[in-house]
A and B are shown apart, each in its own frame.
Chain A
Amino acid sequence: MVNLPTISRWGAIATVIAAALLLAACAKNPASEPGGLGLGVNGGAGAATPGSSQDFVVNVGDRVFFDTDSSDLSAEARATLDRQVQWLKQYPNVSFTIEGHADERGTREYNIALGARRAAIVQDYLTSHGIAGNRMHTISYGKERPVATCDDISCWSQNRRAVTVINGN
């Protein structure tokens, strides 16, 4: 632990930024529950710059998860997307890409199409809740960009996802 009385002002800021980056990095590897936010954030929640993609990932939740071969939105997924809608309304100049993904327990061509369907489902949800369509772009990576690489359901469930990626920032 840093000895506070001797640390410089810049050192304090650096420490806070480092902590926020650490939290953001953790958010990329969510705890296993599909549909969950992935990371309960408190404490350092104020660290990310409001309106930044870090803020979005850490404080809102950038991804939703799906069941095998499915593109249905669970209750947790809807809750996450509701928070996304709120945030996106708060920062109306932000544009973003919705990435659709699938796990490796399917074939390449079908999973590319399934990822597209998942991204489209999220796109529909966001537009039907008032986010302008011209703010968003969708793309599917099929099963080709896993975040978790082990050969069992704990990893596959993390890969069946749609991720809202804030542009720029």
Chain B
Amino acid sequence: MNLQLLWKRVWIAAAVLAAALAGGLAGSLPASALVEVNVTGGKVQPLPIAIPAFQGAGQDAQMGSDIAGVISADLKRSGLFVPLDPSTFTQANMSADATPQFANWTAISAQALVAGSVAKQPDGRIKAEFRLWDTFAGQQMDGQQFFTQPDNWRRLAHIIADAVYTRLTGEKGYFDSRVVFVDESGPKDNRVRRLAIMDQDGANVRYLTDGKFMELTPRFSPSSQEITYMSYDNDQPRVYVLNIDTGQREPVGDFPGMTSAPRFSPDGQKVIMSLSTGHDTNLFTLDLRSRQTTRLTSDAAIDTAASYSPDGSQIVFESDRGGTTQLYVMNADGTNPHRITFGNSEYDTPVWSPRGDLIAFTRRANGLFAIGVIKPDGSGERILTEGFHNEGPTWAPNGRVIMFFRNTQGATGGPQLWTIDLSGYGEARLQTPNFASDPAWSPLLN
């Protein structure tokens, strides 16, 4: 999908309050009591929200319905919203321009309403607009207008969903993003594994490699235009960088051994990876411009799954240098490695949140696999989900939602992708064409 969109976005003024005042609603609540999703603490009260089909004339009506559907699915999957059943909506023809009859919406317990319209323009572009209403206060909370190509209607819907999510939670959105993952097909003892990319809601799946050789552990560059990954091409497992748009790929470095688990530095200039030589696996970086390689660890151990902090100053990784796999944090130049996890469990696959405040991990304890988070200083460990198998968390760009993979059991079982909010709410499976593992979330696309 072409990311060079022709966006034109304007904020539209709050609707006239006169109608609302005349309706006698505004007087019942102070103007400052705007609805918001309570996301603090462990408890979440998902917000009931109404998202009727965006109004459109003729053939635009289908796109209007589709846009509302994508927005609803995004908000529902976030775990923080309950999109209400459209069959309960009593006000028809909710366009972006009209002031809603708020009683129709509060009657079905909608606390917020997204009303929009979409119209094909003479020059072929579509114009889409929406307003977000606080139904109980009778006030507009947001209003935006967009011009773009019809092909971009899904991204449009995700951007609107992000605006609604942000306005109602106070958190940054994450819906306008993509996920790269490993598509897995065939029998369990002879799987074909190849790289695929999709919108974060599962749409627009595209294969990046043909699966002739196994590909694993993909990660996005900060610009989202490139992916680094490991390929078993010609039985020489090593790290590559692939340009998503051109399909060009090149090997990263020329190391005397297998390289794996590559990740970009936040400035996109370096790739950090694991190099296995002899018994040991250690961390190395390669500067993509100067091609200089730097060794960061040199233990008689396995050090792998490195992840940079968002400011690029630190790295978290897993190491068995102490006997069991645990998480370690060090400076980006390799100095001061220190252990941050302790106890009888083992910890793997650490990923630093884009917000910098947490590190997500896979924990193995008592024969179970869990996805959890911990602060970079090692305090505040919290488990989000635990079971027979869960593995490989990746952070949404807003640092709130985590995607991971979970195997179904048995000889015919395989990995599937799941998302969950930091509160532990909204655990939901993502539909993929085949089995899927090893997800990596892109930054926001806009």
The verdict on B129 contacting chain A, using a C-beta distance below 8 Å, is no
The verdict on B261 contacting chain A, using a C-beta distance below 8 Å, is yes
Q: Mark A120-150, 1 if CB is under 8 A from B, else 0.
A: 1100100000000000000110001111111
Closest to B274 in A: A113
Are A149 and B260 in contact, CB atoms less than 8 angstroms apart? no
The verdict on B278 contacting chain A, using a C-beta distance below 8 Å, is yes
Q: Mark B99-127, 1 if CB is under 8 A from A, else 0.
A: 00000000000000000000000000000
A63 to B411 alpha-carbon distance, docked (Å): 23
Are B189 and A110 in contact, CB atoms less than 8 angstroms apart? no
Interface residues of A in 85-110 (CB under 8 A from B): 97, 104-110
Are B278 and A120 in contact, CB atoms less than 8 angstroms apart? yes
A121 to B302 alpha-carbon distance, docked (Å): 14
- Nearest first, the 8 closest Cβ-Cβ pairs linking A and B are A113-B281, A116-B276, A107-B348, A149-B411, A109-B261, A149-B188, A113-B302, A109-B305
Q: Is chain B's interface secondary structure helix, strand, loop, or mixed overall?
A: strand
Closest to B214 in A: A144
A120 to B276 alpha-carbon distance, docked (Å): 10
The verdict on B318 contacting chain A, using a C-beta distance below 8 Å, is yes
Interface residues of A in 46-71 (CB under 8 A from B): 69, 71
List residues of chain A with CB within 8 A of the CB of B320. Answer: 69, 110
List residues of chain A with CB within 8 A of the CB of B235. Answer: 97, 139
A105 to B366 alpha-carbon distance, docked (Å): 11
List residues of chain B with CB within 8 A of the CB of A149. Answer: 187-189, 411
Closest to A139 in B: B235
CB distance from A20 to the nearest CB of B (A): 23
CB distance from A56 to the nearest CB of B (A): 19
CB distance from A27 to the nearest CB of B (A): 16
List residues of chain B with CB within 8 A of the CB of A108. Answer: 216-217, 349, 391-392, 437-438
Interface residues of A in 142-161 (CB under 8 A from B): 144-151
Can you name 16 extra interface pairs (CB under 8 A) apart from A108-B437, A110-B305?
Answer: A97-B235, A105-B364, A105-B367, A108-B392, A109-B261, A109-B304, A109-B305, A109-B318, A109-B348, A110-B302, A113-B274, A116-B258, A116-B281, A145-B189, A147-B189, A148-B189
Are A121 and B279 in contact, CB atoms less than 8 angstroms apart? yes
A110 to B410 alpha-carbon distance, docked (Å): 23
Are A110 and B348 in contact, CB atoms less than 8 angstroms apart? yes
Given contacts A107-B349, A112-B261, contact A151 B410 (CB under 8 A): yes
List residues of chain B with CB within 8 A of the CB of A106. Answer: 348, 364
List residues of chain A with CB within 8 A of the CB of B258. Answer: 112, 116, 139-140
Are B325 and A110 in contact, CB atoms less than 8 angstroms apart? yes
A104 to B437 alpha-carbon distance, docked (Å): 13
CB distance from A70 to the nearest CB of B (A): 11
The verdict on A114 contacting chain B, using a C-beta distance below 8 Å, is yes
Interface centre among B276, B349, B367 (most CB of A within 10 A): B276
A108 to B215 alpha-carbon distance, docked (Å): 12
Closest to A117 in B: B279
List residues of chain B with CB within 8 A of the CB of A105. Answer: 364, 367
Q: Chain B interface residue count: which class?
A: 35 or more
A sample of 27 cross-chain residue pairs with beta-carbon separation below 8 angstroms, ordered by A number, consists of A69-B320, A107-B348, A107-B349, A107-B362, A107-B391, A107-B392, A108-B349, A108-B391, A108-B438, A109-B217, A110-B320, A112-B230, A112-B258, A112-B261, A112-B276, A114-B302, A116-B257, A116-B276, A117-B276, A117-B281, A120-B278, A121-B279, A146-B188, A148-B189, A149-B189, A149-B411, A150-B410
A69 to B318 alpha-carbon distance, docked (Å): 14
List residues of chain B with CB within 8 A of the CB of A114. Answer: 302
A148 to B188 alpha-carbon distance, docked (Å): 9
Closest to B408 in A: A151
CB distance from B64 to the nearest CB of A (A): 42
Are A104 and B407 in contact, CB atoms less than 8 angstroms apart? yes
Are A144 and B410 in contact, CB atoms less than 8 angstroms apart? no
Given contacts A147-B189, A150-B411, A151-B410, contact A109 B349 (CB under 8 A): yes
Closest to A107 in B: B348
Closest to B325 in A: A110
Closest to B280 in A: A117
A139 to B261 alpha-carbon distance, docked (Å): 15
Are A117 and B191 in contact, CB atoms less than 8 angstroms apart? no
Given contacts A120-B279, A139-B258, A150-B411, contact A109 B274 (CB under 8 A): yes
Are B409 and A151 in contact, CB atoms less than 8 angstroms apart? yes
The verdict on B237 contacting chain A, using a C-beta distance below 8 Å, is yes
Closest to B349 in A: A107
Are B191 and A144 in contact, CB atoms less than 8 angstroms apart? yes
CB distance from A72 to the nearest CB of B (A): 11
A31 to B348 alpha-carbon distance, docked (Å): 32
List residues of chain A with CB within 8 A of the CB of B407. Answer: 104
A163 to B51 alpha-carbon distance, docked (Å): 58
CB distance from B258 to the nearest CB of A (A): 6
Interface residues of B in 259-313 (CB under 8 A from A): 260-261, 274, 276, 278-281, 302, 304-305
Given contacts A144-B193, A144-B216, contact A113 B411 (CB under 8 A): no
List residues of chain B with CB within 8 A of the CB of A71. Answer: 279
Closest to A118 in B: B279
